Chains A and B, each alone.
Chain A
Amino acid sequence: MRVRAWLALIRAAIMEFLQFRVSALVMLLGNIIYLIVIYNLWKAIYASVDGGVVNGMSFNDTMIYLVLASAQFTFMEAYLVWEMGRAVQSGKIVLDLLKPIPYEQYLLFGMEGGNIAAFVVTFIPTFIIVQIITKGAIPMGINLVYYLIAATLGMLINFTIDFMVGTICLYTQSIWGINIMKEVVVLFMSGATVPLAFFPETLKKIVMFFPFHSIYNTPLMFLTNSSLTTKDSLLMILEQLLWVIGLFIIGKIFWKISERTITVNGG
């Protein structure tokens, strides 16, 4: 079974994460500051409207959405494109390919440990703080189960996109440029920068055609939107699942084709 290899990778990544000592605390502090900053900012933004509800989003809804989106970002984003790009540039990728486990699995489970640790260290505290401050605005029911499934799938979609973009690094030296483009597109189109609810209609329609909203927006819906029916929920998860499978297959094919450039150029 390969499960043992997977567990070993996850364990190693958790330990690596905890080695950081102070940085784990700094990260938490950074998130808290970010939380307060956007709280102030949106409070000021909402101060200019009467009634307090815009496009179906109240101030509270927006806050919860943005704070959780950012907390979600910290545990989902693994800077995979960077890692792959560096591995290509330093030639370390040749060693990674020699490991007795397919490269995408090596990356995924190597990243997973950090994700789980960050989920515990940043997301859960953030979740609790939000819940206390808003006096229990997040519904606590079956939707939490949906959330965990959707977040896992969202993370997998993010992974497949990262893996695909990272593969581009086999062709170009410009890791920074590739990475920043990916990050901007993903964050903007997934609704992590500005909630999708505020987007003008045409833009919203365009965004829905892409997989990005499934990364951040879909899981967050389960925490912020209490009016979802079971059918809606299952459809959303199905959409995510299709994206995961589709993107994974494309990514794998792209990688298989690109892998040859390593064998040709020697990394």
Chain B
Amino acid sequence: MKRLGFYLKIYRKIVIQSFKSKMSYRSDFIISMIGMILTDISELLAFYIIFLNFPSVCGWTYYEMLFLYGFSLVSLTPLQCLFDNNWHLRHYVYDGDFIKYCFRPIDIFFYYISEEFDTKGIGQFLVGMGTIIFAWNKLKLPVTFINVLAMIVALFTASLFMIGIMNFAAATCFFLTNSGYVMVTMNKFRDYAKYPVTVFSTFFKIVFTFIIPIAYIAYYPSLVVLRPDHIPVLTWIAPAYGILFFFLSYKFWMLGANKYSGTGS
């Protein structure tokens, strides 16, 4: 626990400093932000077009789907903002540059991840929050303390899953030559997170619940608010499972880092 305090203290300083330095590259910040928001808007447009042609998806209405989408955007924000350096991991590993992270008396994973703070996730967060609030209003969901608290817990939990998935995906570069496609493929899964898992066949329900747990990114946690009368067990265990899953992904990442022996000399 003392260690945790130590890491939090360092992390807070790094994030504040990186944020300041990112702000000094204003044009990059703005262009990235627009790019991010544009992506989200194109998704919203896609929903809009689909629901122009179809009344509902598997019993889910337009606004419920919007809610899920907004939820997934917000819960993916921590991944985008704090864990973006995973995308560069394979370059560091193949060029032999990863070695530089091995010489500090702190956790390699922490040290590596802390190096990058990505501001463009903020745009995604804003669009996500806007969408949630819009859908929440349209669905006339009650605003109670319990609901808001549940939302916050659910969002935190959901974040852990996608971060875990991307940790696993990024760490494959320690074992495979050119693992870029693993990252790209896994990243594609985040696109499926916005759909209710019930649309999938049994096999994929199991895969998306237990193996590549994207169903926890939006579907299971949002049931707390959307379908308060039918909350499945899986939703209740989500927080514990999220922590476990993240922990496993961390272990896998570290296993790779320890195996790493530097391709360059």
Is A–B contact present in the complex under a CB 8 A cutoff?
Answer: yes
Q: Which residues of A contact B (CB under 8 A)?
A: 19-24, 26-27, 29-30, 33-34, 36-37, 40-41, 43-49, 54-55, 172-174, 176-181, 184-185, 187-188, 193-194, 198-200, 203
Task: Report which of A20, A54, A172 forms a contact with B31, defined as CB distance below 8 A.
Answer: A172
CB proximity of B126 to chain A, nearest CB, Å: 16
- Chain B residues positioned under 8 Å from A200 (CB to CB): 49, 52
Q: Is the interface of A mostly helix, strand, loop or mixed?
A: helix
Asked if B129 lies at the interface with its beta carbon under 8 angstroms from chain A, I say no
B199 touches A40 (CB 8 A): yes
Number of A-B residue pairs, CB cutoff 8 Å, is: 123
- Chain A residues positioned under 8 Å from B199 (CB to CB): 40-41, 43-44
Asked if B179 lies at the interface with its beta carbon under 8 angstroms from chain A, I say yes
B192 touches A37 (CB 8 A): yes
- Chain A residues positioned under 8 Å from B184 (CB to CB): 30
Complex Cα distance, B31 from A46, in Å, reads 38
In chain B, residues 40-66, which have Cβ atoms closer than 8 Å to a Cβ of chain A?
Answer: 42, 45-46, 49-50, 52-58
B204 touches A26 (CB 8 A): no
- Chain B residues positioned under 8 Å from A47 (CB to CB): 58
Most buried by B among A19, A27, A33, A40: A40
Known: A23-B180, A180-B38, A198-B52. A172 touches B27 (CB 8 A): yes
Complex Cα distance, B201 from A127, in Å, reads 23
Complex Cα distance, B180 from A21, in Å, reads 12
Asked if B17 lies at the interface with its beta carbon under 8 angstroms from chain A, I say no
Asked if B200 lies at the interface with its beta carbon under 8 angstroms from chain A, I say yes
Chain B residues bordering chain A, tally (CB within 8 A): 41
Closest chain A residue, CB of each to CB of B32: A177
- Chain A residues positioned under 8 Å from B38 (CB to CB): 180-181, 184-185
B200 touches A26 (CB 8 A): no
A27 touches B181 (CB 8 A): yes
Q: Which 8 residue pairs are nearest across A and B when measured between Cβ atoms?
A: A30-B185, A177-B31, A44-B199, A180-B35, A177-B32, A174-B31, A177-B35, A44-B58
Q: Is the interface of B mostly helix, strand, loop or mixed?
A: helix
Complex Cα distance, B45 from A200, in Å, reads 11
B201 touches A40 (CB 8 A): yes
Complex Cα distance, B45 from A30, in Å, reads 25
Complex Cα distance, B198 from A23, in Å, reads 30
Known: A37-B192, A48-B55, A200-B49. A23 touches B39 (CB 8 A): no
24 residue pairs from A and B, CB less than 8 Å apart: A19-B177, A20-B178, A22-B176, A23-B177, A23-B178, A27-B181, A30-B181, A36-B201, A40-B199, A40-B201, A44-B57, A46-B54, A47-B58, A48-B55, A48-B58, A49-B55, A172-B28, A173-B27, A176-B35, A177-B28, A177-B33, A177-B120, A180-B38, A203-B49
CB proximity of B169 to chain A, nearest CB, Å: 10
B46 touches A194 (CB 8 A): yes
A184 touches B39 (CB 8 A): yes
CB proximity of B216 to chain A, nearest CB, Å: 16
Complex Cα distance, B35 from A179, in Å, reads 8
CB proximity of A171 to chain B, nearest CB, Å: 10
Closest chain A residue, CB of each to CB of B185: A30
Task: Report which of A30, A40, A172 forms a contact with B204, defined as CB distance below 8 A.
Answer: A40
Complex Cα distance, B178 from A21, in Å, reads 8
